[in-house]
Amino acid sequence: MRFDEFGFVPALEEGLESMMFEEATPIQEQTIPIIKEGKDMIACAQTGTGKTAAYMLPILDAIARNSRESILAIILVPTRELAMQIDQQIMGMSYYTGATSIAIYGGGDGMGYEQQKRAIREGVNIIVATPGRLISHLTSMKIDLSHLKHFVLDEADSMLDMGFQDDILRIVSYLPKKKQMLLFSATMPMKIRSFARKILQEPVEVNIAISKPSEGIDQRVYLAYDQQKMELLKNILKDPNYVSVIIFASQKTTVKLLAQELQKQGIDAEGFHSDLEQSKREDIMARFRSRQVRVLVGTDVISRGIDVVGISLVVNYDVPPDPEDYVHRIGRTARAATTGTAITFVNEKDQNRFAQIENLIGYPIEQLPLPEGFEAGPTYNPAKKNPQHKKKRFNRNKNKNYQKAKRA
């Protein structure tokens, strides 16, 4: 379905045309008509499917039809990086509509907080915020939300995983009763459904191909011991076709070590983790988007919602702890109908977890031999259990008999 078939106002269509938006993705095609009808909705779609535009376009259309200098929509997101990213996307889509937006997040200095307060007072149509910082503003100043029409929870599963449930309920208590509520999530576990029932009114449910990697991703796996992984990574990065790379590691300490080692090899690499100051994180992400940084090393925080076009390679330095996280990680490449490569390193300990990933996606992933000059890696045998020492069990009956004999 083409975007010009949704019946958006001309100013919004002009913005989409300038951004070369033509064909809607499946999640957009299914959700936009529902949102335009004003219904509550819970939508599930994996990363890279166009979720942001799916909810923002009908909201911008509604704002353009009833323009006023008041807060009309709040988008709640789990991370400051995602808040900034969505705000930038809104600016592009709304360029000709006159709608205004601001990203509200923590981690900056006091001046940033005051700038956010001033923007809210002066009147802004759309607030994109992290839960903690929005609560801070709601409790420190009077914010007029009486005209609010739309409330969106983006990456809802991630927010619940991060412990924001009570914060979300607190924010909802500040909102007018009559409003549209939209919940978008990459996964749909029972906790999401239960939470949705608390805050949504008779929501329409939309599910789009949950837990299936994009067809454009060339997935590969190397069986390698931990001591082989670094040299294997360096070997892979020799390929000049991999111009923009994300490397995922489960531990922050591993992220730091990998970034340092790659920098020693003369590779333009940066670690992306929670220990960095907000200004540093913003600088790294800006340089990565502009290709000044070739390799970004991070934990799963960058697998959720961080949208960078043209990533050619994703490397899982270790197997993610949850099979769903694998889909989120490799979803950073092959976005917007492009192609990309995803490579996973599997050691002898992670084979059962990797087998769970193959079971989730429904097919085996191609195993590649280690490059020439490498010693053999571990054999793939996911059913094999790690040997465990049997503990001697204390036989109470035997002990009682011993005590009786001793007393006799």
Q: Give per-residue pLDDT as tens, 76-112.
A: 999 888 898 899 999 989 889 989 999 999 876 555 7
Does residue 112 lie within any of the structural domains?
A: yes
Overall number of domains in the chain: 2
Span 369-389, average pLDDT = 79
Same domain, 188 and 221: no
pLDDT band of residue 247 (cuts 50, 70, 90) is very high
| pLDDT over 70 percentage in the chain | 88
Same domain, 204 and 221: no
Same domain, 289 and 341: yes
- What is the spatial distance between Cα 248 and Cα 300, in angstroms, rounded to a whole number? 7
Same domain, 204 and 231: no
Same domain, 165 and 56: yes
Same domain, 70 and 136: yes
The pair of three-digit structure tokens given for residue 275, joined into one six-digit string: 């220990």
Average pLDDT for the chain: 86
**CATH code for position 144:** 3.40.50.300
pLDDT band of residue 362 (cuts 50, 70, 90) is confident
Q: Give per-residue pLDDT as tens, 158-207.
A: 898 888 999 999 999 999 999 999 999 887 778 888 999 899 999 999 98
Does residue 252 lie within any of the structural domains?
A: yes
Q: Which residue has the tokens 């790294």?
A: 284
- What is the spatial distance between Cα 263 and Cα 319, in angstroms, rounded to a whole number? 23
Same domain, 141 and 272: no
pLDDT value, residue 47: 66
Span 238-248, average pLDDT = 94
Same domain, 221 and 110: no
Does residue 184 lie within any of the structural domains?
A: yes
Contact present, 219 and 333 (Cβ < 8 Å) = no
Higher-pLDDT residue of 220, 326: 220
Last residue of a domain, one of 183, 208, 233: 208
Does residue 402 lie within any of the structural domains?
A: no
- Name 378's Cβ contacts closer than 8 Å, sequence gap at least 6: 223, 224, 225, 346, 347, 348, 351
Same domain, 76 and 201: yes
Same domain, 196 and 228: no
Does residue 376 lie within any of the structural domains?
A: no
Same domain, 256 and 173: no
Does residue 401 lie within any of the structural domains?
A: no
Does residue 391 lie within any of the structural domains?
A: no
- What is the spatial distance between Cα 46 and Cα 170, in angstroms, rounded to a whole number? 27
Same domain, 247 and 359: yes
Strands (E), 324-363: 340-346
Does residue 379 lie within any of the structural domains?
A: no
- What is the spatial distance between Cα 226 and Cα 81, in angstroms, rounded to a whole number? 31
Distances (CA, A) of 252 to 228, 242, 281, 342, 383: 20, 24, 15, 21, 29
Last residue of a domain, one of 157, 191, 208: 208
Angle at which helices 131-140 and 110-122 cross, to 10°: 70
Last residue of a domain, one of 208, 240, 271: 208
Residue 127: give the domain boundaries.
3-208
- Name 240's Cβ contacts closer than 8 Å, sequence gap at least 6: none
